[in-house]
Amino acid sequence: MRTAGWRSYALYGCAILLCQPLAACGPAEKPAASTNEAAAANAAPAIPADAPLVIAFGDSLYAGYQLGPREGLAPQLQAALDADGVVARVQSAGVSGDTTAAGRQRLSYVLDNAKTKPALVLLGLGGNDMLRGIGPDQTRANLDAMLAELKKREIPVLLTGMVAAPNLGSDYAAKFNPIYPELAAKYDASFYPFILDNVVGKKELMLGDNIHPNAKGVTVVVDGLAPLVEDALPDAK
């Protein structure tokens, strides 16, 4: 399992303690695309209509909180796959503020309305459950239900994990932290243990709230995720 240093976790816990009343992962306006960003978008390689579909389904860490249109997880993952010669279409289905309960409610809608059956779903929820003090049993049940739905539809999953902030206490962490590795094993899902690994606690990679990554931080996240995505798409090269 990948682990960030205890110092990083401590900083993460302090940031969450300060920002908890804001529920941290709430919506925010995104800045308009710059001329350079528009040019970059126009220069991006054309994606075939029948390219495998990758849906990034999560909360604000997936939605690109306070980032430009090309800076969030989905567009940066798309760029990384393009650079590696992997043909796939990455669709963002991140909603800032989503809990696992909210994600569970909208998952079927997203899947039913996709233009084609996804070749892979990145699933990343649970951070807001932790911030709001929702019981880990509820978080587990909701994630389990979503993974069961994806398995029923025969859609492979890459599960991105979350860890409990230290200020929430050892009892909470003992119930929350095992959720992700245990469910990944149960459903034989690809697994990235901590979505903010090598990012949290580094000011140069975080927004001012010390909870969400900036564009450079997302790049670090994508560097870790892209190889797992590519392994899950063996026919996409």
Q: Say which CATH number the domain at 59 has.
A: 3.40.50.1110
User: Catalytic: which of 82, 144, 190, 209?
Assistant: 209
Question: Residue 188 pLDDT more than 80?
Answer: yes
For residue 216, the model assigns a pLDDT of 98
Is there a catalytic annotation at residue 209?
yes
Q: Domain for residue 31, yes or no?
A: no
The answer as to whether 131 is a domain residue is yes
Mean pLDDT of 87-95: 97
Give catalytic status of residue 8 as yes or no.
no
Q: Is there a domain that residue 3 lies in?
A: no
By residue range, what is the domain housing residue 194?
49-232
DSSP 63-131: HTTT--TTTSHHHHHHHHHHHTT---EEEEEE-TT--HHHHHHHHHHHHHTSSS--SEEEEE--HHHHH
Q: State the average pLDDT over residues 34-51.
A: 64
The one catalytic residue among 8, 60, 92, 96: 60
Q: For the chain, what percent of residues have pLDDT higher than 90?
A: 76
Measured CA distances, 58 to 70, 123, 181, 186 (Å) = 17, 6, 17, 20
| Band (19; pLDDT cuts 50, 70, 90) | very low
| 26-30, 167-171, 191-195: segment of lowest average pLDDT | 26-30
Whether 35 maps to a domain, the answer reads: no
Which comes out higher in pLDDT, residue 237 or 189?
Answer: 189
Each residue's pLDDT tens digit, 106-149: 999 999 999 999 999 999 999 999 999 999 999 999 999 999 99
60 as an active site residue: the answer is yes
- Per the domain annotation, does 136 fall within a domain? yes
Asked whether residue 225 is assigned to any structural domain, the reply reads yes
Residue 100 in any domain: the answer is yes
Question: What is this structure's pTM?
Answer: 0.84
| pLDDT class of 234 with cuts at 50, 70, 90 | low
What is the tens place of the pLDDT at every residue in 199-228? Answer: 999 999 999 999 999 999 999 999 999 999
End-to-end CA distance of the chain, in Å?
28
Of the candidates 114, 113, 110, 181, which has an alpha carbon nearest to the alpha carbon of residue 143?
181
Examine the pLDDT at 184 and tell me if it is beyond 50: yes
Q: What is the pLDDT of residue 18?
A: 37
Split into its structural domains, the chain has a count of: 1
Is it the case that residue 160 has pLDDT exceeding 70? yes
Residue 135 lies in a domain: yes
158 φ, ψ (degrees, to nearest 5): -115, 110
